[in-house]
């Protein structure tokens, strides 16, 4: 006689011994965000130590914030770079913050909570400008000056609303983003001849580098000269 109990939620499950599940794998994400196979018995802590925290670079956090996603973003960004540029970052520290803005100060790259790998690339771009001495490279200076050609100080606008804080910038169809046209007042807007100071456009290369990895076709369409320049840097690991 079968006895049925109303509301009974029991079910039948399979049982496997250790020999049957030995060598089985499951899906996970690696440090680049790609789907990979890992041992089925790998714990979260083991995965975290290998693919998130296991880095050759110093990464600090604040207020006991584990920053799993941000650590992954940093590793993914670094892994995009040629080996020569990875070596240039050995003395760089990443500091993940929960308030304020991402940015660079000295040998520290500050990464705001929620930052993705492309924004990390942007911040790394600031470091590469200094490490590779791009502002002393005549080809790079020529590319940025060609972009700024025909612009004068009267073309500078103050934008108080588009970003988290007000910035000075100019607008050009050759910029891949509005932020690429940002001007840093501390560098001085113009030279004595009235031309815009190319060194004041500190986000020109970092933003170009970000878009190179994020959307090559956009950069190629907007500024083929900058695209080719970054392509050579990335492909050859060129050191200037």
pLDDT at 130: 94
Q: What is the pLDDT of residue 18?
A: 60
Kindly tell me if the per-residue pLDDT of 79 is higher than 60: yes
- The whole-number pLDDT of residue 58 equals 73
CA triple 100-102-107, angle to 5 deg: 120
| 150-175 core/surface letters (b: 16 or more CB in 10 A; e: else) | ebeeeebeebeeeeeeebebbebebb
**Token code pair at residue 119:** 């924004």
Report the C-alpha gap between 81 and 128 in whole angstroms: 11
pLDDT band at 240 (very low <50, low <70, confident <90, very high): very low
Q: What tens digit of pLDDT does each residue of 95-139 get?
A: 999 988 999 999 999 999 999 999 999 999 999 999 999 999 999
At 2 the pLDDT is 53
What interhelical angle do 117-131 and 204-214 show, nearest 10? Answer: 140
């Amino acid at each position: 006689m079968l006895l049925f109990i109303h509301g009974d939620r029991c079910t039948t499950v399979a049982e496997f011994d250790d020999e049957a599940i030995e060598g089985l794998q499951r899906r996970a994400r690696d440090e680049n965000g790609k789907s990979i196979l890992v041992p089925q018995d790998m714990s979260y802590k083991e995965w975290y130590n290998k693919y998130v925290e296991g880095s050759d670079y110093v990464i600090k956090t604040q207020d006991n914030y584990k920053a799993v996603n941000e650590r992954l973003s940093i590793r993914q960004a670094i892994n995009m770079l040629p080996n020569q540029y990875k070596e240039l970052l050995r003395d760089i520290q990443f500091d993940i913050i929960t308030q304020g803005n991402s940015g660079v100060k000295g040998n520290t790259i500050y990464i705001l909570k929620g930052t993705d790998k492309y924004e990390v690339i942007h911040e790394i771009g600031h470091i590469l400008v200094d490490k590779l001495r791009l502002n002393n490279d005549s080809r790079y200076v020529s590319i940025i000056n060609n972009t700024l050609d025909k612009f004068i100080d009267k073309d500078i606008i103050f934008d108080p609303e588009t970003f988290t804080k007000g910035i000075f910038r100019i607008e050009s169809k050759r910029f891949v983003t509005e932020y690429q046209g940002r001007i840093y007042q501390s560098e001085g807007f113009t030279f004595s001849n009235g031309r815009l100071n190319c060194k004041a456009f500190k986000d020109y290369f970092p933003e170009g580098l970000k878009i190179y990895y994020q959307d090559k076709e956009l950069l190629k369409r907007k500024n083929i000269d900058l695209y080719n320049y970054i392509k050579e840097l990335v492909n050859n690991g060129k050191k200037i």
